[in-house]
Amino acid sequence: MLYLRTALDNTRVDAMNRKICILGLGYVGLPTASMFATHGYDVVGVDVNEDIVKNMEKGNIPIKEPGLETLVLAALKSNRLKVQAKPEKADVFIICVPTPINEATKEPDLSYVKSATESILPYLEKGNLVVLESTVPPLTTQNIVIPILKKSDLKVGEEISVAYCPERVLPGKILTEFVKNDRIIGGLDKKSAQMAKELYGSFVEGNLHLTEITCAEMVKLMENTFRDVNIALANEFMKISERIGIDVWEAIILANKHPRVDIHRPGPGVGGHCIAVDPWFIINTDVEDTNLIKSARKTNDEMPGYVAGIVENELKDIEKPVVTVFGVAYKGNFRDTRQSPAKEVISILLDIGFEVRAYDPLVEDFPYELMPLDKALDGSDCILILANHRLFNNLDTKTIFSLMRNKKIIDTMNSLSSNWIENGFSVRKLGNG
Ligand SMILES: NC(=O)c1ccc[n+]([C@@H]2O[C@H](COP(=O)([O-])OP(=O)(O)OC[C@H]3O[C@@H](n4cnc5c(N)ncnc54)[C@H](O)[C@@H]3O)[C@@H](O)[C@H]2O)c1
């Protein structure tokens, strides 16, 4: 709200809060903890997963992210960051715990937010600030977090300040984006927002935009929902292009020459822990008024099946076809496989009866066996590209050609250089009729 933005600069917060307790040491919480610790705060990082705590005490950093290990080790060495399984008294509590959806019902699971909030109750004191960073359905802070905080006997608003500050970082660029991105700060009141502004202002170079809590919750969801709907639109354009015989990639580039058009890229489905999940938080809040959002989710969820259909059609004349999936991460140049469409595509192809092998040198952990390149390609009929890792274009195409039984490629990401066609592969691009 505008009133906050104008009034806040004149609101005085008595003292800089120096000690922070951060709940959840995952992709968001661990960099946050280390960033504050290297910017003058004493930070207690808390995780209920004792393996994470034990590993970190030994200097083993659970999250692979460029620059993170150096930052965390610097924070631990400075003694400004310590990790443990239980919270303790602090000036600020920041909650960064998971907020998944139930895969069957698509309803949000807020149990982690509830238990993290409950866990700080014994340590809360007058003057504390509690910040929720987890992505949540609108009204969660007001209807779930604040009622729990009220059990502390302290007056929320008067004695405890509360803010909602969503995280907008991109995995792979988390540390840069932490500092450079603008941040949305939703305050319960002016004092809460001002306290959170001072806190994040200690390292954020982007602008800090102040608003009220529920608006901040909704902003985060709107950002990812916009992207999901845009990708669904690109996927529809892709299917139409296949039907009418044009190249959707060329059409999108040309349409985006319009100064007010920005169509996203089609692909084998939407993965990751944000874009495929966050729209459900809005849908569940208002089932009746979310037809477009629901439809976009359906379109994107159906993409793995659509891609599997293309594979089936392309290989229909081959007996006992062998498919080699290139890239099982949920997007190119990332190692993260959460909600990756590759899992679904592989599962469908196996059900149809294909032999499927998977190759992804960036990924360590995947439900299906990941093979070395030569084993994955030996006697294979088709390379199916599901994540556009840059490194695929550096592979030796002649060696690959010699390993395969049939020289087919299905590229769902429009990612291959012309080198592959020049070396004799037949390339079927998604969205190129
Ligand atoms: N990963 C991202 O890039 C990203 C970006 C923007 C927003 N978010 C949001 O941030 C939140 C956290 O995501 P994440 O990716 O860091 O999750 P994560 O799964 O990587 O880490 C969460 C950690 O919280 C711990 N935890 C669970 N309950 C706890 C409790 N009661 N007390 C202390 N620790 C507890 C878990 O053991 C886990 O280590 C989610 O709401 C997510 O949607 C994530």
* CATH code: domain of residue 16: 3.40.50.720
Residue pair 99/135 in contact by the 8 Å Cβ criterion: yes
Specify whether 124 is located in the same domain as 22.
yes
Specify whether 192 is located in the same domain as 44.
yes
By annotation, the residues acting in catalysis are: 220, 274
Residue 229 lies in a domain: no
Output the ligand 1 site: residues, CB below 6 A: 23-29, 46-49, 52, 96-99, 112, 115-116, 119, 134-135, 167, 169, 171, 273-274
Specify whether 205 is located in the same domain as 319.
no
Ligand 1 pocket: which of 23, 25, 27 to mutate (most atoms <8 Å of CB)?
Answer: 27
- What's the number of domains the chain is made of? 2
* Ligand 1 atom closest to Cα of residue 274: 43
Residue 105 lies in a domain: yes
Residue 324 lies in a domain: yes
Residue 225 lies in a domain: no
Q: Whole-prediction pTM value?
A: 0.93
Specify whether 396 is located in the same domain as 354.
yes
Residue pair 356/382 in contact by the 8 Å Cβ criterion: no
Residue 361 lies in a domain: yes
Q: Which residues contact 398 (CB under 8 A, 6 or more apart)?
A: 423
Closest CA to 357 of 320, 391, 322: 322
**Cα(2) to centroid(ligand 1), Å:** 31
* Ligand 1 atom closest to Cα of residue 112: 28
* Ligand 1 atom closest to Cα of residue 168: 6
Specify whether 168 is located in the same domain as 305.
no
- Return per-residue pLDDT of the chain as tens, 433 residues: 333 333 334 343 444 558 999 999 999 999 999 999 999 999 999 999 999 999 998 889 988 888 999 999 999 999 999 999 999 999 999 999 999 999 899 999 999 999 999 999 999 999 999 999 999 999 999 999 999 999 999 999 999 999 999 998 888 889 999 999 999 999 999 999 999 999 999 999 999 999 999 999 999 999 999 999 999 999 999 999 999 999 999 999 999 999 999 999 999 999 988 999 999 999 999 999 999 999 999 999 999 999 999 999 999 999 999 999 999 999 999 888 988 999 999 999 999 999 999 999 999 999 999 999 999 999 999 999 999 999 999 999 999 999 999 999 999 999 998 889 888 999 999 998 6
Give the dihedral sign, CA 360/362/367/369.
positive
**Cα(45) to centroid(ligand 1), Å:** 12
Specify whether 168 is located in the same domain as 240.
no
Specify whether 175 is located in the same domain as 259.
no
Specify whether 260 is located in the same domain as 167.
no
- List the structure tokens of 319: 């007996």
Residue 222 lies in a domain: no
**Cα(135) to centroid(ligand 1), Å:** 9
Residue 226 lies in a domain: no
Specify whether 179 is located in the same domain as 299.
no
> Range of 426's domain?
236-433
**Cα(417) to centroid(ligand 1), Å:** 37
Specify whether 184 is located in the same domain as 60.
yes
- List the structure tokens of 192: 């809460």
